[in-house]
């Protein structure tokens, strides 16, 4: 891997896991209870559960491109938002968190090992770095909303504090 590719890959990893710019994404999610995950607040359009499901939808979508596939575009962005506001139970919530974090780890591995300027065959004009940057920025955007909802629900900070480490 070229030195510049490696440096950019390291920057992508930091963005994917949440280093420096915000709390690490795994720490922000690790202690959310099923009740908090499914709780709605007045004037907020979604729950933490719905946010994480939406994040997973698009992360999986982009990872499919990185793995050489061609995901099917939804007919509407609303298809990426679940209608159910809360998970069925604590096990479903934990599975949702684990699935999302496994996708983050997969993206991290790709950022560390792939040639980032390589074009994506099924996404003309896009590179692997571009897809990984998209995953990181989308997750970061919605992680801020999760943190805000946690604050509104009185479920902040997580163990270890609420600031980057």
Instruction: Give the pLDDT score at 164.
Output: 60
Instruction: Give the pLDDT score at 2.
Output: 59
Instruction: Give the pLDDT score at 4.
Output: 67
Q: In the structure encoding, which two tokens stand for residue 100, read together?
A: 């999302």
Q: Which residues of 52-77 are buried (b: 16+ CB within 10 A; e: fewer)?
A: bbbbbbbbebbbebbeeeebeeeeee
Structural domains present in the chain: 1-153 (1.20.120.450)
pLDDT (tens digit per residue) in 103-139: 999 999 999 999 999 999 999 999 999 999 999 999 9
Q: Is the pLDDT of residue 65 over 60?
A: yes
Residues of the chain above pLDDT 90, percent: 84
Q: How confident is the model at residue 61 (pLDDT cuts 50, 70, 90)?
A: very high
Q: Is the pLDDT of residue 95 over 80?
A: yes
pLDDT (tens digit per residue) in 12-59: 999 999 887 788 999 999 999 999 999 998 889 999 999 999 999 999
């Amino acid at each position: 891997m070229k030195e510049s590719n490696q440096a950019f890959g390291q920057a992508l990893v930091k963005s994917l896991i949440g280093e420096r710019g915000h709390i690490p994404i795994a720490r922000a999610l690790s202690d959310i209870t099923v009740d908090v995950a499914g709780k709605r607040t007045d004037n907020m359009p979604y729950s933490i559960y719905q946010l994480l499901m939406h994040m997973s939808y698009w992360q999986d979508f982009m990872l499919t491109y990185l793995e050489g596939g061609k995901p099917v575009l939804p007919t509407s962005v609303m298809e990426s938002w679940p209608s159910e506001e809360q998970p069925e139970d604590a096990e479903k919530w934990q599975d949702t968190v684990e699935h999302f974090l496994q996708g983050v780890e997969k993206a991290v591995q790709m950022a560390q090992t792939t040639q980032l300027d390589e074009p994506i065959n099924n996404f003309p004009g896009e590179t692997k770095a571009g897809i990984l940057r998209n995953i990181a920025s989308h997750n970061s955007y919605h992680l801020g909303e999760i943190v805000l909802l946690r604050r509104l629900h009185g479920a902040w900070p997580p163990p270890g504090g609420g600031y980057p480490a």
